[in-house]
A and B are shown apart, each in its own frame.
Chain A
Amino acid sequence: MTRLTKFRIIFNLLGIIIIITGIFSLIEKDLVLNGELRIKSDLTEKLPMISVLFPEHRVKKIDEHYLVQDEPIYFTVRSPIEFNRAEVDVEFQNGSQEVIGLGIATEEEGWNFETHTLYNKTLNNIYWSNMSDGINTLYQKNKTFDDIDEFLEVSNSIEGVGAYDFDLGENFTIPNYQASHEEMIINNCLRGKHEFYTYIKDEALDFTFKIQDINRTDGEDPLIIFIYNPRGKKIYSKIISDDGLISKIDPASDPRYVSIYIPDLEEGVYRVELSTNDDIFIREITTKQQKIVFIDRLYLCDSKEYSDGFVDLNLEASEVYTNGRLISFYTAHTAGLQTVSLDNTGINIYKKHEWIEAYSNPKLSRIYIPKNDLKISCRGIFALEKEHYFNPEIINLKDYSDIEEVNYIIARYQKPIESKDGWLKNKIIFNLDKAKIEEGNLKFMFSSPNLDSENNNFKINSLKVKLTGSRNIDPAFAYENFWNNIINKIKKIISQIK
């Protein structure tokens, strides 16, 4: 054997040992025997364990950070084994955005994400006393509790508890509510799609809607009614087809009455959705329910603008009560130009086809609308009579409003920490029990409303993800499981070839 042959044998053996060691170290890494995986990305390059932000057209790469111009945007993180918990640290700048959320794809059917708040300007600016347990924050108007656990023990029995992205494990109830047998008539004319909450206790859900089709646009104008129970489950749906007059030169249709009667319902808040277009006018609502509040949007149409279609409109001024803070007004017609009173402050609706915004006082606000023909929008609820008002969203605040009835807010939220150069850092912890693993990846999503490429956007500088699972993984079991999976895969491939 020559010296060269000896050298070659040793060299090749060494090479093979290095390769085998490398492969085993990859397998060991992949089995995550210590139950913890840390992934870090400054988003400058595509890494095997974490993707960059996508889709590309919704983000813009500037220097070493991303500018997010549209939502939603995603990133994926490889998950070689099933983990129990993900901690996602984000370094970002909110720009002009008031709320930024971060979600994780869940196993539920369709496009479903469990989203938590990364940034909330309003919560950051609450001047109340606050305390945190690392995940949740308790805000107290007057400090009563010294820790969150103490508060949660009694949260069901004290008044004025609001929850933001926090499940208090209870349904909203109105203490001392009693069913009434008297019929109530809401004779405000409402145009197009509306949603409202109503409260049921020892009574049937009983509504009659008087609807009319003004036929201002071509096409059919159906009305679809959905009703959801206190747990958010759809319990009723009904389609009311068009009356047959579908052309825009057709006259307004005759009134039709749609009745809904559902007995034997559990106590709680029911959401009624009237899904339709702006050709359908809800002229009257007759009900035995005492509490009705509209969600996010009202379109009042008792205006002479519609007198060509309906001769019996009630052209009097309307009064609306709302807990919303930023309120937007819109009219499409000259008849809708007017000065609206919001908490006795005049808001001039001076221009058609333009949303005019105003802030209300931090309490239940009164809006006086002299001429109607106005869309009113806010993140909150509207009541057409003060007696109808109740706020079922208090146990699940979609947005925080400094309303009088809230004394405590428990939120799954941490105020971000300011780091170097004005970057903010915040951490969101996800429980991965219901997380979807698609092709070995966990999928995360950033969302924030009303993004655009000019002023309304936010920046992301870096991401850190810590995945943790069970710490007591038996290496023998993990390796056995790994080889079994590989052998099964090989068998499957062979059977496919055969």
Chain B
Amino acid sequence: MKKAFRTIIFDIFYLLIGAYMVLMILENLKPGLVSNYVDLNKILYILVPFGILCVLVSNKKIKDKKINNE
């Protein structure tokens, strides 16, 4: 269950990163296409906590592995 949770967290993070990058590229190709309707900074506000959560989860994973190995 723990592994499934970690995997899903990472998947969501990758999806958000991917969406953010696509939106940024579109915004650069046609200025206003995204920023007219979506505040790109607000996506960052979601991305950053998820990023932190991913770091915490992966640290926990490494620790768990170490304990298992020992």
Known: A19-B19, A23-B22, A48-B39. Contact between A8 and B32, CB under 8 A?
Answer: no
- Tell me which of B19, B26, B36 contacts A48 (CB under 8 A): B36
Judge if A486 is at the interface, Cβ distance under 8 Å. yes
Question: Which of A7, A19, A48, A78 lies in contact with B18, CB distance below 8 A?
Answer: A19
| A26 proximal to B (CB < 8 A) | yes
Contacts of B3 in A (CB 8 A): 4
B30 touches A489 (CB 8 A): yes
Q: How many residue pairs at the A-B interface have CB separations less than 8 Å? A: 59
In-complex Cβ contact of A49 among B15, B22, B34, B36 (8 A)? B36
CA distance A12 to B13 in the complex (A): 11
Inter-subunit contact A80/B36 (CB<8 Å): yes
Contact of A15 with B11 at beta-carbon distance under 8 Å, contacts A4-B4, A48-B36, A80-B36 already known:
yes
Q: Which residue of B lies closest to A11 (CB)?
A: B11
Given A4-B7, A26-B38, A30-B36, A485 contacting B30 (CB threshold 8 A): yes
Neighbour of A23 across the interface among B8, B23, B35, CB < 8 A: B23
Give the distance to chain B from A1, nearest Cβ to Cβ, in Å: 14
A332 at the interface (CB under 8 A from B): no
Q: Measured between C-beta atoms, what is the minimum distance from A192 to chain B in Å?
A: 49
Which residues between 1 and 50 of chain B lie within 8 Å of chain A, taking CB atoms?
A: 3-4, 7-8, 11-12, 15, 18-19, 22-23, 26, 29-39
B11 near A78 with CB under 8 A, answer: no
Q: A122-147 toward B: CB 8 Å interface, digit per residue (1/0)?
A: 00000000000000000000000000
B30 and A30: CB pair below 8 A? Answer: yes
CA distance A27 to B34 in the complex (A): 8
B39 and chain A: residue at smallest CB distance = A48
The reply to whether the CB of A219 lies closer than 8 angstroms to some CB of chain B is no
Q: How far is the CB of B7 from chain A (nearest CB, A)?
A: 6
A155 to B8, CA, bound (A): 75
A184 in contact (CB, < 8 A): no
Give the bracket for the number of chain A residues in contact with chain B.
20 to 34
Q: Collect the chain A residues with CB atoms within 8 Å of residue B29's CB.
A: 486, 489-490
**Chain B binding surface SS class:** helix
Question: What is the bound-complex CA distance between A11 and B7, given in angstroms?
Answer: 11
Chain A positions within 8 Å of B12 at CB level: 15
Contacts of A23 in B (CB 8 A): 22-23, 26
Which residues of A, 12-35, contact B by the 8 Å Cβ criterion?
A: 12, 15-16, 19, 22-23, 26-27, 29-30
Contact of A30 among B4, B18, B33 (CB under 8 A): B33
A440 at the interface (CB under 8 A from B): yes
Q: Does A474 reach chain B (CB closer than 8 Å)?
A: no
Q: A15-B12, A19-B15, A26-B37 are in contact. Are A78 and B32 (CB under 8 A)?
A: yes
**Within the assembled complex, what's the spacing in Å between the Cα atoms of A8 and B5?**
11
Known: A19-B22, A486-B29. A26 touches B34 (CB 8 A): yes
Q: A48-B39, A78-B36 are in contact. Are A8 and B7 (CB under 8 A)?
A: yes
Contacts of A439 in B (CB 8 A): 31
B37 touches A48 (CB 8 A): yes
Q: Nearest 10 pairs between A and B by C-beta? A: A15-B15, A440-B32, A19-B19, A489-B29, A78-B36, A30-B33, A48-B36, A486-B29, A4-B4, A48-B35
What are 22 A-to-B residue pairs whose CB atoms are below 8 Å? A4-B4, A7-B4, A8-B7, A11-B11, A15-B15, A16-B15, A26-B34, A27-B33, A30-B30, A30-B32, A30-B33, A30-B36, A48-B35, A49-B36, A49-B37, A78-B36, A80-B36, A440-B31, A440-B36, A485-B30, A486-B30, A489-B30
Additional A-B contact list (6), CB under 8 Å, known A7-B4, A12-B11, A26-B26: A23-B26, A26-B34, A30-B30, A78-B32, A80-B32, A80-B33
